[in-house]
Structure 1
Amino acid sequence: MSEETERREELCRLARSLFDRGLTNGSSGNISLRLPDGGLLVTPTGSSLGALDPARLSRFDASGRHIEGDRPTKEMPLHEAFYAKRGGRTGAVVHLHSTHSVAVSMLPDIDPNCVFAPLTAYSVMRLGKVALLPYFRPGDPEMGHAVRGLAAKRSAVLLANHGPVVAAKDLEAAIYAMEELEEVAKLTLLTRTLAPRILDDAQVKDLVAHFDIEWED
């Protein structure tokens, strides 16, 4: 089995896992991953993450040209922005419409520079600071431009009234980070009126230093 075939099957397997656990539904959500030759594998437009065909994934060459497979997701500007601005730090991008994350994106008093308070160590470790971007029509190229303005400093963003986007070194890490984002969104909603005890500045600084986390303003 070739490495590309393995990557295709891995993408479909992990996408199905997200779907089966209710983190995405219908034909929402999209995933991309970088191949060793510099090209991309991308989920097709209108496809369900629960029923992807490895042979029909959209394939791009290293120059960004669509060379085979079904037509790619209309959210390509999001994916391209992370790959362009984060270079070798990004090997995969995951975008979902997960319920709790979308709910948090609609709250009126969210800090757009840092959506989530440091509720848990793993939310800091896997996400860093999550930025909130304004609402854009799905597929709007302006959404990609907005991400490009942040992506060098953020590996995760939350699109208002839309959903989260996470970039990581490989697909498995991106999936884990997306799961963590949805969990901290749940905790945010559950503790919203309870004045929860969060990690203090010293505890956050210790995590940032120990795990070499991006935590820029």
Structure 2
Amino acid sequence: MTSARHDLAAAGAHLASLGLSPGSSGNLSVRDGGRVLITPTGADLAALDPDGLTVLDPDGTHLDGPRPSKEFPLHLAFYRRDPGTAAVVHLHSRHAAALSCRPAWSERSAIPPLTPYFVMRVGQTPLLPYAPPGDPGQAAELEALGFPFRAVLLQNHGPVVSGGSVRAAVEAAVEIEEVSALLLLLGDRPARLLTHEEAGALAAAHGSVWTG
């Protein structure tokens, strides 16, 4: 068993233990050499079999294992955008999914710079317009966006997050859920956001992205 398989199964169990993957929702992937390992369709993230993952090549050809999650085009779009992407996490976590039903804060980020850790661990997170789950056109739109980012919110759906490691992608997915919960808790009450200069300095110091 490769380390990548074990890491993906452990990540699924961790996210499920936090209550961020209800039922059989959500899907995970990891780059393994020249291939992508992804959770099968309908998989329960709490009980992933490391030997039962789906294997794809970078263009989506199914090489081995069960049928992949229908969301695999979104995962592959992240890998194609950035050779440094090592893992992708897609969840239907409650607060982030709720936030995805609201208008975007700005063109480049659905989520404002409310906390330092959101900026440090995630960075700007654009809102992709609604499309049915698994729609390859939505993945093409993600891939074609002309500015940098490491996460998106799918409108009326939830977050998709990439990272330079499985751990980084998981931590970013958890951070999106936390900042989404804070925003919903604040509601319409006034809140201090980080300034553009504060957010930019944090992003530069921690290898994140905040361009405005």
Q: Per the shorter chain, which TM-score range?
A: over 0.9
Q: Is the 8 A contact 1:86 1:152 kept in 2?
A: no
Equivalents in 2 of 1:194, 1:164: separation in Å? 24
Equivalents in 2 of 1:157, 1:130: separation in Å? 5
Q: Is the 8 A contact 1:43 1:72 kept in 2?
A: yes
1:199 maps onto 2:202 in alignment: no
Q: Deviations over 1:96-140 (max 9, x none)?
A: 111101111112464342112211111001111110011110011
Equivalents in 2 of 1:121, 1:52: separation in Å? 33
Equivalents in 2 of 1:113, 1:209: separation in Å? 17
Aligned residue in 2 for 1:180: 175
- Select 1:12's aligned residue among 9, 12, 16: 9
Aligned residue type for 2:20 = L
Equivalents in 1 of 2:78, 2:31: separation in Å? 11
SS in 2 for 1:119: coil
- Select 1:107's aligned residue among 71, 78, 102: 102
Aligned residue in 1 for 2:74: 78
- Select 2:120's aligned residue among 118, 125, 129: 125
Q: Taking every aligned residue pair, what percent have the same amino acid on both sides?
A: 43
Aligned residue in 1 for 2:89: 94
TM-score by length of 2: 0.93
TM-score by length of 1: 0.91
SS in 2 for 1:24: coil
Equivalents in 2 of 1:192, 1:74: separation in Å? 33
Aligned residue type for 1:23 = L
5+ residue gaps, structure 2, are: none
SS in 1 for 2:167: helix
Aligned residue type for 1:68 = D
How many residues align structurally? 212
Q: Is the 8 A contact 2:122 2:151 kept in 1?
A: yes
Equivalents in 1 of 2:79, 2:134: separation in Å? 17
Aligned residue type for 1:94 = V
Q: Is the 8 A contact 1:131 1:156 kept in 2?
A: yes
Equivalents in 2 of 1:43, 1:212: separation in Å? 28
1:52 maps onto 2:63 in alignment: no
- CA root-mean-square deviation: 1.7
User: Cα offset for 1:34?
Assistant: 0.4
